[in-house]
């Protein structure tokens, strides 16, 4: 199992997640459903923190904790982008470059 040819780049994660989703019958989900599932993984990470659980642990062999839930967020985002042709790496590079040009605490935001 696994797809070592993909590696741990965003493109690699996307390819591996896409192949796993294809094999497990999860392709073809509506985009809005994918977005809701991404959101649910963020909520699960929040609940792990709220419950005071360790950052990463296993329970019956299953990865758990906020790190595992955040991994699910990345996996779901990468899978979404692969399935719908969203240029994630290009967008991330553009956003990082743009954010570097913004002033300190731009927009008067506290956080």
Structure-model confidence comparison of residues 102 and 107, the more confident one:
102
Output the pLDDT for position 3: 64
Work out the average pLDDT over 98-109: 85
Q: Where are the domains of the chain?
A: 10-85
Output the pLDDT for position 13: 92
First to last CA, the chain: 42
Residue 101 has pLDDT above 80, yes or no: yes
Contact 80, 31 (CB under 8 A): yes
DSSP 8-state secondary structure symbol assigned to residue 55: S
Output the pLDDT for position 108: 75
Q: What are phi and psi of 59, to 5 degrees?
A: -135, 115
DSSP β-bridge partners for residue 62: 59
16-50 pLDDT per residue, tens? 999 999 999 988 889 999 999 999 999 999 999 99
Output the pLDDT for position 7: 65
Which CA distances in Å does 15 have to 2, 36, 38, 72, 88? Answer: 11, 21, 17, 15, 13
Structure-model confidence comparison of residues 88 and 5, the more confident one:
88
């Amino acid at each position: 199992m696994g797809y070592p040819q993909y590696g741990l780049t965003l493109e690699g994660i996307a390819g591996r997640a896409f192949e796993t989703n294809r094999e497990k019958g999860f392709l073809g989900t509506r985009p809005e459903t994918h977005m809701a599932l991404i959101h649910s993984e963020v909520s699960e990470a929040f609940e792990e923190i709220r419950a005071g659980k360790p950052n990463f642990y296993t329970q019956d062999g299953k990865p758990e904790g906020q790190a595992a839930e955040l991994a699910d967020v990345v996996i779901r985002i990468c899978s979404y982008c692969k399935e719908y042709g969203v240029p994630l790496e290009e967008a991330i590079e553009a956003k990082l470059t743009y954010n570097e040009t913004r002033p300190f605490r731009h927009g008067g935001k506290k956080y």
